[in-house]
Structure 1
Amino acid sequence: MLDEQALVEALNSTPVVDGRPTDRWADDEELRAWVRAHGGDGDDAELAALRDARGRLQEVVAGEAAPGVLADLLAGARQRPEVGDDGVTWRLETAPERRLAVELVLAWSAVAQRHPGRLRPCANPECRLFLLDRSRANSARWCSMKTCGNRLKVRRHHQRHREEPTAP
């Protein structure tokens, strides 16, 4: 099963680089490497399902779409309990080409339940990354303080000083 790290990797696969939006998953080979690292086969149908799931999840996490847009991604998927020596595990049953896409949606659901309100887009409107806030106060705003946070604070500082009237 995909975990929250894989979820954040997927959500953050469309960064802004040198001021231009990019899509790391537009490159089939880069996406295939990610898929294979997470137990997939990397066939074209699997890549298409993952790109679709990622796009919908980005919209949901950004607040641009309701979670209902994910429903048809889960159509026909089931989890079946299996009891073993270590306890109960859940086996996902779905079409092989949709398994990772379904797991991505399930990873989002688990994060939303365990950490409500902590998965969100970066507060920098020019950034397309997401963060999972692990701070005690749930106050993280930027994907990275070093890049987005500092950039916005410097921008606000310069704007305030431009707007302040000069003393006579």
Structure 2
Amino acid sequence: MPRDNQSNRFEGLEAVRIRPLRDEPLALDLVDTVWVDQGALLDQFDDLEGVRAWLGDHGLPGAPGLERVRDRLVLARDALRGLLEGRGHDRLNAVLDEGATRPRFGDDGPRDTVVVSDPAWEAAWTAAAAVVPLLRERPERLRKCANPSCVLWFLDVSKNGSRRWCSMEVCGNRAKAGRFSRRHKSVG
């Protein structure tokens, strides 16, 4: 995989291809644009192509000035992570203060329209506001991966609410392999 010579980031759309958890609800998917790979913290938004891809994946507008959109996405992401990690809600409230929904009627009937203080806020505000119904409905199902070195969050939709890992293929298998190795070392 091509890496930038200056840092641990992946170039272009390579970051999008390797991101381990991608089908979470919008707010969590924004939080999960930062992840750990081989001990390095990676950020999909280090590259504007990564921002473009994330916006496209969610059908969100880029607005003129993609750098400004990225800056607001990063603010919203950090505010969401802070809330999820128990560091307070003030930063998230500041992001949410940048917009609102307004009911409107159109030819297709009633709908809610997002109204923001600046078009560069629309995607970030939409993602930040998407955490509200998750926290109202099942806050106990919003979880951080049980792997201490993983930074990913997920919505546990398992029937009995027992999901522990962002991905069984990644963190779950690592934990299983570690337990297996420790068991066999103590036996041998």
Consecutive unaligned residues in structure 2, runs of 5 or more: 1-22
The Cα of 1:86 is off from its aligned counterpart by 5.4
Equivalences for 1:27-38 in 2 at 5 Å? 27-36=47-56, 37-38=59-60
Query: CA 1:4/1:85 → structure 2, altered by over 3 Å: closer, same or farther?
Result: farther
What secondary structure, in the 3-state scheme, does the structure 2 residue paired with 1:65 have?
A: coil
Instruction: State which drifts further: 112-121 or 122-131.
Output: 112-121
Regions of 4+ moved over 6 Å: none
Tell me, yes or no, if structure 1 residue 23 matches structure 2 residue 46: no
Give the aligned residue type for 2:40: R
The Cα of 1:53 is off from its aligned counterpart by 0.7
Give the aligned residue type for 1:52: L
The Cα of 1:11 is off from its aligned counterpart by 1.7
Show the counterpart of 1:39: 61
Aligned match for 1:146, one of 151, 158, 169? 169
The Cα of 1:92 is off from its aligned counterpart by 1.5
Which structure: larger Rg? 1
Aligned match for 1:57, one of 74, 77, 80? 80
Q: Distance in 2 between matches of 1:147 and 1:76?
A: 37
Aligned match for 2:101, one of 79, 87, 91? 79
Q: Distance in 1 between matches of 2:97 and 2:77?
A: 16
Tell me, yes or no, if structure 1 residue 96 matches structure 2 residue 105: no
The Cα of 1:31 is off from its aligned counterpart by 0.9
TM-score (norm 1): 0.82
Query: CA 1:4/1:130 → structure 2, altered by over 3 Å: closer, same or farther?
Result: closer
The Cα of 1:162 is off from its aligned counterpart by 4.2
Q: Deviations over 1:110-157 (max 9, x none)?
A: 222233221221110111212111101111000111221121122133
Q: Distance in 1 between matches of 2:25 and 2:98?
A: 26
Aligned match for 1:117, one of 116, 140, 143? 140
TM-score (norm 2): 0.75
The Cα of 1:42 is off from its aligned counterpart by 5.7
| Contact 1:131/1:143 (8 A) holds in 2 | yes
